[in-house]
Amino acid sequence: MAAVSAQTVRTRVRDRVATVSGLTESQVILSPAADPSSVLDGRFSVTIGESVPVGYRQKPGEGSLVNTLATVQMVHRIKPKDQWTSADTALSRTQSIVQALMVKTGTWQEDLQVLWTGNRLEQLTGETLLTTITFRVQHLYALA
């Protein structure tokens, strides 16, 4: 297993999420809900949280095995006259993201072990839902 940077983890996760139909990466780094309302629906962002070493084996030449928290946030607009359908679309997109990241196809998961750890759906405003999906990504972190 080769060492992978946190930036590479974020880029690979972002690229997989972008394969889900109807989603576009937000131009706002930590808050996709801050995008203009005309383009809000289906906007997402991927952030990397903490990286925590697994065990105590850390060698500069080999790296350290870590668990890195990857968070996907996605915004959905609720149509006032069709709220339940909008909420169901949000749930469907959430499942599509989880499936996209858990399927082992191609080389995107090379040197990574991805584990889905959960998701949460919350209402930000009367017309906006925010989905937060978290993954634990295990990989070697370069120390030198």
Look at 35 and 95; give whichever has higher pLDDT: 95
Cα separation of 66 and 36, whole Å?
37
Contacts of 77 (CB under 8 A, 6+ apart): 37, 40, 41, 86, 127, 128, 129
| 51 Rama sector, left if φ>0, alpha if ψ -120 to 50, beta otherwise | beta
Please give the average per-residue pLDDT across 30-49, as a whole number. 77
Query: 3-28, pLDDT tens digit by residue?
Result: 889 999 999 999 999 999 999 898 87
Report the pLDDT value the prediction gives residue 125, as an integer from 0 to 100. 73
The model's confidence at residue 45, banded by pLDDT at 50, 70 and 90, is: very high
Overall pTM surpassing 0.75 (yes/no): yes
Q: Which CATH superfamily is domain 6-141 in?
A: Phage minor tail protein U (3.30.70.1700)
Mean pLDDT score of the chain = 87
pLDDT of residue 36: 65
| pLDDT higher than 70, residue 133 | yes
List the domain boundaries for the chain: 6-141
Q: Inform me whether the pLDDT recorded for 29 exceeds 80.
A: no
pLDDT of residue 60: 81
> Position 17: which residue type?
V
Q: At a CB cut-off of 8 Å and minimum separation 6, what does 48 contact?
A: 6, 7, 9, 10, 68, 69, 70, 71
Give yes or no for a contact between 23 and 39, defined as CB atoms under 8 angstroms apart. Answer: no
pLDDT, tens only, 63-120: 899 999 999 999 888 888 888 888 899 999 999 999 999 988 878 888 999 999 999 9
pLDDT at 3: 87
Rounded average pLDDT over 124-142 = 89
